[in-house]
Amino acid sequence: MTIYDTIGGQAAVGTLVNELYRRALDDPNLNGYFASTDMALLHRHQRAFIAAALGGPGTYHGRAMGEAHAGLNITDDAFDRVATHLVSILRENGVDEETIGHIADSLGPLRAQIVAP
């Protein structure tokens, strides 16, 4: 069984992405990163990316992480804030700590591609 299946599949990923962006837009330290973003498109890309990263069906066809985040000047603090929101959402939705750890292991290495040098 994949992490994607463990957390509840497509429905859970959709809920996760919706709540993650709701919190990011409500967070004054993050919302500026989304000022000129097509949020509907971002939601679709993020659902596909997370599903693929967690072993779900389909393939992510979006831009590479470095390219997608180039010029946004994302800081380590911003990356950590998003990660904190993600972990909170997972816990609130009953995902166990071991699975959360596996998700962090899958997504954590992206820091080097997302955070501005």
| Number of folded domains that form the chain | 1
Cα–Cα distance measured from residue 86 to residue 110, given in angstroms and rounded to the nearest whole number: 14
pLDDT for position 22: 97
Q: What are phi and psi of 35, to 5 degrees?
A: -55, -40
What digits encode the pLDDT tens for the residues 48-93?
Answer: 999 998 999 988 888 898 999 999 999 999 999 999 999 999 999 9
Cα–Cα distance measured from residue 85 to residue 71, given in angstroms and rounded to the nearest whole number: 23
Residue 19 has pLDDT above 90, yes or no: yes
Radius of gyration for the alpha carbons in the chain, expressed in angstroms and rounded: 14
What's the CATH number where 32 sits? 1.10.490.10
**Residue found by looking up tokens 């299946």 in the block:** 5
Determine contact, residues 58/44, Cβ cutoff 8 Å: no
Cα–Cα distance measured from residue 112 to residue 65, given in angstroms and rounded to the nearest whole number: 9
